[in-house]
Structure 1
Amino acid sequence: MSEEKKNVNIWKSLQKVPAGTMFVPLIIGAIITTIGQGIFNVDIWATLGNPMKDMFSSSGQMLIIGLMLFFTGTGVKVSDLKSALGRSVPLIVVRLVVAYALCALYYVSFGFEGVFGIPFLAVACAITSANAALYMGIISPFGDEADKAGFGIMLICSMPLLPILFLGFYGTSGFGIAQVMQIIALLIPFILGMILGSLDADIRKVFAGGNATILPFLGFEFGSTINLFKALGMIPQGILLSIAYFVIVIGPSYFVERNILHRPGYISVASASLAGVALAIPAMAASSNAAFEPFVSSTIAILAFVLAITNVAAPFLVKAELQRHPADNMAK
């Protein structure tokens, strides 16, 4: 039997699923977490300890994200970055302005408790979030370097900084030098990679496939934040907020992307998934404002469901969008 026939082709099978190299490990990680925490009440990765813990649990997310920023930076030229700013910034600004305005309106209308069992805290954490890493995994097969360069900008906007600053207007005090340093820490690996890649073409070639190598690990780490039992316990609220998330997140930026930037629209759709870090924001907000404390548990459960459904749906929505508006027909 030839070596070709013996090969199981796991990698090729993963690539047949939209963003499969991240999505499939995410599902596996969620199942492992659900079995461990939901059935045996054990954090499997914490019990095993390092290096397993940092490889497959959320404790290693920032290392992987830092590597992704560096790898992405090595492939970015200044001209690509200018193009990314022209594409990404308008979409991000429109998206965030609409999201935060609606969050404020939601609070004014329904207070901290919210309506239909969806607290204000859950809305603020959800519709202001974007999973930049999943975005990178989705667009990698067909996006150009300018699309990929937008990863760093999107990642900065998806970190807890902006939501915590926003929640500060409602009694929190979470903004300070630590958040400023967080932005700087995110920029450094991206800029370092861009400088090295621009100075030496060989460096750009060496790290060209770096993101593809680490995406499965990031998928596992995102999956480790999802307890399917807890997510299913808030199904009605999760469904309602997921629908609202897609409408609010995709709608305005998609309109701008299609009608003003004259792009296919896949950037707006690919960025429509909740970031795993959003699940950490409720506790951060509650630590600064006791008014949020009664809503932390329900908010995390709702966000876990939204995280699951948006991360599952986003790759398929992008695939459908590309069928409607192929990337190879886009205006340059």
Structure 2
Amino acid sequence: MRIKRTIDRIPGGMMLIPLLIGAVIRTIFPQLADNTVFQSSFSGGLMTGSSALLAAFYICLGSTIEFKAAGYILKKGFALWIGKIALAAIIGLLIKFLAPDQNHMFLGLSALAIVAAFSDSNGGMYMALMGQFSKRPEDVAAYSIMSLESGPFFTMLILGVAGLATFPVMGFVFALLPLIIGMILGNLDVDMKKFLGQGQGVLIPMFALALGFGINLKNVVTAGMSGVLLGLAVVVITGIVLFLLDKLTGGSGLAGMAAATTAGNAAAVPVAVAALYAGYKGIAATATVQVAAAVIVTSILVPIITAWYSKRVERREKAVAKQHMTT
């Protein structure tokens, strides 16, 4: 059976197929996530261990990056991070201006749901897509900077309740540590660079499966069209902005497209914000479901779009190389 060859024919298949398998398992057997026997098993470790798998991926990735590339990583990471946060802030202000009611409702979506969905990218998916399609490992490493957007802090800041959370500086340090370890090993020893570098491709479907297990497809139906609309808006609007920023920082636009997602942990942000700001308690539950739907929609669409654009970039590069050879 030609399983790998078949998966490779699907846009973003090595990321998308395991992700969908994980989501289908979670949707059919939602009780598995709370089953202590399953959690303590090797199967449970694989399905729920996305953080550990991503840490291993970061070490393998870091081993392929030379120290001189650190400047590019910082430039790319900060550009995409600031672009994501600034865009969410602008949209939040527009909603407040266009729909100045208590919960700033707009097209059935609250400012809480929109800002939460727009301000946090799916880091696992970004790294998987860049690991599969980008020819520069530095593009993958840029998420070490973008990880600053994770959690409720910037959502609360944008919504005007800043000061109710503390910035997790050590969390940022710990997020960078696996990458730094990999970089040190790879730069000190060429054999370690070759050995660890081979692990990137293997780990992508592994943590894609774990990421998918965190998604219940029923949330799309529950959220209705408002949640689907939110997901589509994240893909289109952030996709355009981040694509342009990626181009301005010397990229092909591929990294910007791969970052046009909503992180799975963004679904927990509305409840966290409502716990600290009473004005959003009445809409927190609805916002949670809408953001969860946006996570699913972006998780399906972004790999397909990124894979399609990757092929365009590859064809363009081949055409340019062929033209240079004939001149």
Q: TM-score range by the shorter chain?
A: 0.7 to 0.9
2:198 aligned with 1:206: no
Question: 1:225-276: CA deviations, max 9, x gaps?
Answer: 2222222121211222123212321222223334x34543212111112221
Where does structure 2 lack aligned partners over 5 or more consecutive residues?
A: 321-327
2:44 aligned with 1:50: no
Provide the residue aligned with 1:238 in structure 2. Answer: 227
Match of 1:121 among 95, 112, 137: 112
Question: 1:134-161: CA deviations, max 9, x gaps?
Answer: 122222233122323323223x134216
Provide the residue aligned with 2:10 in structure 1. Answer: 17
- Pairwise CA RMSD of aligned residues? 2.7
2:140 aligned with 1:152: no
The answer to whether the Cα contact below 8 Å between 2:153 and 2:162 also exists between their aligned partners in 1 is no
The answer to whether the Cα contact below 8 Å between 2:122 and 2:264 also exists between their aligned partners in 1 is yes
Q: 1:25 is matched by which residue type in structure 2?
A: P
Question: 1:275-325: CA deviations, max 9, x gaps?
Answer: 212122223223323333332322222122211111111122123323444
- Higher deviation after alignment, 104-113 or 125-134: 104-113
| Alpha-carbon distance in structure 1 between the residues aligned to 2:32 and 2:142 | 38
Moved over 4 A (4+): 44-47
- 1:1-332 superposed matches below 5 A: 8-37=1-30, 43=33, 46=36, 48-51=38-41, 52-57=43-48, 60-110=49-99, 111-143=102-134, 144-154=136-146, 156-160=147-151, 162-164=153-155, 166=157, 169-170=160-161, 173-176=164-167, 179-258=168-247, 260-261=248-249, 263-326=251-314, 329=317
Where does structure 1 lack aligned partners over 5 or more consecutive residues?
A: 1-7
Provide the residue aligned with 2:324 in structure 1. Answer: none
SS of equivalent residue, structure 1 residue 65: helix
Q: 2:175 is matched by which residue type in structure 1?
A: L
Cα gap change, 1:158 to 1:218, in 2 (>3 Å): farther
The answer to whether the Cα contact below 8 Å between 2:124 and 2:211 also exists between their aligned partners in 1 is no
The answer to whether the Cα contact below 8 Å between 1:31 and 1:228 also exists between their aligned partners in 2 is yes
Cα gap change, 1:303 to 1:93, in 2 (>3 Å): same
Q: 1:226 is matched by which residue type in structure 2?
A: I
Aligned residues: 316
Cα gap change, 1:171 to 1:254, in 2 (>3 Å): closer
Q: 1:255 is matched by which residue type in structure 2?
A: L
| Alpha-carbon distance in structure 1 between the residues aligned to 2:33 and 2:310 | 39
Percent identical residues: 22
The answer to whether the Cα contact below 8 Å between 2:64 and 2:183 also exists between their aligned partners in 1 is yes
| Alpha-carbon distance in structure 2 between the residues aligned to 1:307 and 1:227 | 10
- Higher deviation after alignment, 109-118 or 201-210: 109-118
Q: 2:73 is matched by which residue type in structure 1?
A: A
Q: 1:218 is matched by which residue type in structure 2?
A: F
| Alpha-carbon distance in structure 2 between the residues aligned to 1:45 and 1:215 | 26
